[in-house]
Amino acid sequence: MPGYSVFLLPDDVYDPQNWPDTEVGNKMKRLGRRHPIEFQDFDNNMRLIQDESIGKQAFQDRTSLRIISNLGSVCSREHSSLWEVRCPKTRRSGVLRIYFTMSTIHQDTLVILDGEFKDETSANYSTACSRLREGSI
């Protein structure tokens, strides 16, 4: 059971050692510098779901643990494929949330749209939703 491919919007390969100079790449770089422990947890999750032998099972396991969640139709009824990864799942001092979608063009491909560190305020999906609406993913 092969794993998933992970890309950053628009079409950059996920590589935490070499972020592209794009809006999403720069955001990931900032989040990694400001929240290194949480970002390392996120990176470990991404590496597991990319693994050729256990990737899809790792994705399912993280979904059942609610580390990865389908947010349903928070953007609109037409775009019901917004997902998030939370690292850690819950914590009083804050949670790193990375928003992504499943590509409709490339099978078994996740496309990272946005990310944020949330402490006490509610989630802000607006940037991820607008990128989801405007991109042909």
pTM: 0.88
User: b/e map of 29-58 (b: 16 or more CB within 10 Å)?
Assistant: bebbeebeebbebbbebbebbbbeeebeeb
Measured CA to CA in angstroms, residue 38 lies from 42, 74, 80 at distances of 6, 24, 26
Question: One digit per residue, pLDDT tens: the chain, 137 residues?
Answer: 578 889 888 778 888 888 888 889 999 999 999 999 999 999 999 999 999 899 999 999 999 999 999 987 777 656 558 899 999 888 888 899 999 998 888 888 999 999 999 887 777 888 888 888 776 56
Domain count, the chain: 1
pLDDT value of residue 38? 94
111 lies in which domain range? Answer: 5-134
pLDDT value of residue 123? 79
